[in-house]
Structure 1
């Protein structure tokens, strides 16, 4: 046994940097001529290979498709089944151990019977004694390509794959992993490139080359379930080595001899969810070593911080981060628990990971029952008809009338509670600045005012009508309602309403652009409600038909950018520079702006504040811009000047810049590597100037 002892000493003296190193080390030992293993013992290490027969090969018309790290895939014709299938062969085939490792994946995958796991039809040897296994011929597209195209709305991918559809694909993967775990099998290499969505929508999880057979409490075999022999199906040559894909593999997979469990796959599923939300790998790094180090230290940015303009759901961000916890005990216990969290989100409930407060719970309740008022109204109409019919018959059938009255009273109590819940939801929405539809909100409030209401509730309704009038620039009306509501004279909205009256006395006339910009300068620091109301005021004004003069509109655009970025008072002296041939140039060099579009939750979608300015060129040098795709909304933009802008993710920046409809980009030296600069120049003209 001295040979084995010497091998293990050499193996333990260094941490392998790749799976290839481990396989090579073992192969060298097995092929070294060492007398430790006899021919019979060597044959015993490849039981699957020994069981195969070369005479069964019946495939023709082979066409190469793709080559991966461990195998090649080709399309072949199955002459017996009269169909085309995919056939896999090992890339490394020098030794029996190489071919046995390839066959372990085939045998293990063949024993996993699940609709979301790629089925293996046959395992065998070809005429040259090379092992192969045959699979279903996959159609469709990889999840990695789908997400990247969806994030950029390529070929209407945003409509074809909305977030709900991507989450449905994620749940299919979770279901496949839950099944594998129930059979005591870990995948250990879950990532977007190993997930494929078929032409008819079926999700497939494949590439089980790093899978491992384990025992555990989750292994609950049915009476007719396949048994998995860990001695045959586990990769013994790679025991104790780092296995997986950096960026998606769990921290315990990056440590030599690290103990892995089902929670390692839960981590990878969390990474897959993170990728679906952001289009990015959760762990950043310029090299494999840096990614591994950041994985071990748990350095993962919140998806909402990683892409501040991507509108990532707070609930789903919390779910992905819990699954990506550094400590396995802090992750979800099973893949099913993780899937249940995502299902809870899709059904409109708060996830446990986000630890939602009472207000968030109430908001979600309101959204789940947003048709409550209509239902209640229809119910009252039907109820009135039933009661009327009952009253007509009361003189004839007193006992039947008494029964109907009892039913009426019970239904009235339930309807009253329904009405109170709807009323409370309307008040909560207004108090948080969530007016979802200004016209509909006004109709609801006026309907309530038409009833016999008094006291604090009537004052609240007047206050809501005051805010709606303020949004519509009807400041006389707003002041009247604020006064009826008892709002203090020194409150911000009453002050601004009186300022609006000074600027224009007629409620039927809109403010000029300069005057509206002045109204947007009301104090909003750390006041989300006021910002919401000003966003609605901007959208209400924008949606009214009018002709916009870019030079006159500039103060409104700058005021809105200051509102979005919390930079009050900046840019008051900015001017648009007219260009020959039409259009304008805007110099925002040094502006304290990170975002150029308001939040999507105001209900108007993604709209650039700068679009009405008819810009042909814009200078955003020395700014904190993070997402270049915001400038796609500037339809006439031809030149983007972005010197001395710090780029945190060069690959992503090149991707987004390449998709801008511009002709020229001007950047500083050092902003992009030569490799990424070369890629970008394939899409547009790039000038590189000295850094200043």
Structure 2
């Protein structure tokens, strides 16, 4: 682009993008002032050099390619999408439309778009978030190959959680009037921290007011991706029948529901639902709905009937027979996860009873024993009563024969009444015993909930608290416990329902108001920070578990940028507003320094953040357990108050500095990948370091170890005394 064109673009377009402060800056530039008077950051923004530095190719399709790039303006890595070759105007328009559609969809599980522009040759491109990890197709392939690490981590339950996030993303897109039309495992990115993104919206289209209206021939070329035979657009095996049928050009939300069903089939069976020896056969099978149900497959881990029914309903041949929305599909999956029958299953009475028995096995056994005992007692009472009635009738008949026999019968009747009273007394005793058993069970469940919470296993704690609530839904303390665990799990809708049943709601009014506000939308991270600040001013018994539960749930549900921002704010609060939080992203890796912060006491907010370097030197930090599973390569504790290190990620750690600390045990480094180690003035048994094959430099306090001891260790590294 020449200088004249750039100036024209500045004159026409930029004024619409600048706010009032930027307009003043623009006037200063256009008035001809010397550029030396402008700040260096402004000059950098005005630089005519290309904004993006191209790097490696990531993926390539028929029309476009994705590559990694470096955004020099915002100084961050991005993914860059561009057309592979010069294309027709309608292809270019479709490419730009894809970027605009993605930009409209702001959702945690939809890849965000950063920029849309054109290069000097006029070729359009757009940039978006660069996501690491693997796509779901690669994960399923590794599961088929029995990869031990992948198989251990990606259980069926975890794969279902990924599927639910995709359902949420599709439901959100549908609420904005957008269809994806290419849902498949290859378009689902899962990073190493569990974040899930639905990508590649190249086939996406907007729903019209009549969303099932036929497409014109020109639109059809757009909607249907051409393969080798020039007929199909999409991915055979995951496409709905209406996508592969040239005579049926209708697209609706149910089209994406079919894609979700095919995805669920692939997740549950690790196989594609529709296969064939040729593309034509796959298309014919799709049009005829010919594919084996998951239950018909000979799988190592058979698919439960409830999930099988969900798959078959979602992949129904006729769109009207499928789920009405992605929310309804997700709701059925959650029904299965909670032990209930799915709506698609149309379970009979026997199935419902079987599922209920699995959910409440112990309670049902206890209730059955009590019920059988009660029935047996009643039967015994009725038999005895019938017997006494017979005796009474006989006595009346024989009353004329003998006054003595009448008196005898009367005495027998009195004896029977005494026995009946004793029987009623026994029934009351059994009822009291049942209540006593229930009262003895509840404290044990509360103890188990507390134990799970202390171990940060908040999912199990919530399950048990819900079980308590189901057993006794009128106990105010049990309602409060269930409300807390739902609130901590960010299920504000459920928490709001439970809070509304409390007797003394005034005490928890601020929690109730927060639950009501965010019962139907995700709470912004800034609001969660203010909530945690308010929790810090509440009684300790509430703050301890609810605060930790919120941090755990945020780790599972929020993007990495939000989690770093929350950690920064929480440490800032902890340090009485005098802390610094030096976070740097270098070559895609996060390095954090909290050195010389004198007031904060713990690093709980750093739990499960992907840090490779952490500097806690000259801080009052005592406990580093929140980062024990973090993939740290470098840990600096020089001058901190850490006394003992029980566990660290031995697979990634390369450098540890414990100078000027009380740490006197290096057992935590046994069999680790440590390369450089700084020890303090306290004598330490160095034998665990004999297993560290990568150790190259060891810094020891002078005169602390004898030469003989050092020699006998046989360490193959450089030992430096200081």
TM-score in terms of structure 1 length: 0.44
TM-score in terms of structure 2 length: 0.42
Structure number with greater CO (CA < 8 Å, separation at least 6) is 1
